[in-house]
Amino acid sequence: MSKKVEIFCDGACSGNPGAGGFGAILRYGNTERELSGADGDTTNNRMELLAAITALESLTRPCQVVITTDSQYLVKGMTEWLAGWVRKGWVNSKKEPVLNRDLWERLRELAGIHAIEWVWVRGHNGHAENERCDALARQAIATFRTGGR
């Protein structure tokens, strides 16, 4: 696993639930790639997860990855909560089914392929890549609403 990739990602929703979008930037050396997408009836948390999933699924081989996000839900889910959810049969601390299990399972599978470091940054605080990912997510929502994909 010699390839080191930086991923920056963000999700957004207009209404929660409502139309949602995500944006991601993948950086390998001097090469960058932007990804985005949208859904008409979703939540902000689902878009945060989908941003990371889409970025990781675009990698063609196992990599060392640093994922930077403003989503504590995503970071804490992967670093603090996931193992307990799996051990307890996908129920949370309130004994309720874990929300977004389908996406957490996809992310868990991807985390088994790559060596991932999770980094949280404060959102809307001037972090250039986080701001760009937010813009990509919002642009994806606008494109979705006007019928583009």
Helices (H), 70-147: 72-76, 82-87, 101-111, 128-145
Query: In Å, how far are 7, 65, 130, 136 from 119, measured between CA atoms?
Result: 10, 11, 12, 20
Answer CATH for 4-145 from 3.30.420.10, 2.30.30.280, 3.30.1360.30, 3.30.9.10 = 3.30.420.10
**Catalytic residue, candidates 70, 77, 114, 129:** 70
Among this protein's residues, is 48 annotated catalytic? yes
What are the boundaries of each domain within the chain?
4-145
pLDDT given at position 100: 98
80 CB-near residues (< 8 Å, 6+ apart)? none
Among this protein's residues, is 39 annotated catalytic? no
pLDDT given at position 1: 54
Q: Annotation-wise, does 105 bind a ligand? A: no
- Which residues on neighbouring strands pair with residue 32, listed in sequence order? 27
Among this protein's residues, is 96 annotated catalytic? no
Per-residue pLDDT of the chain (149 residues; tens, 9 = 90+): 557 999 999 999 999 999 999 999 999 999 999 999 999 999 999 999 999 999 999 999 999 999 999 999 999 999 999 999 999 999 999 999 999 999 999 999 999 999 999 999 999 899 999 999 999 999 999 999 998 75
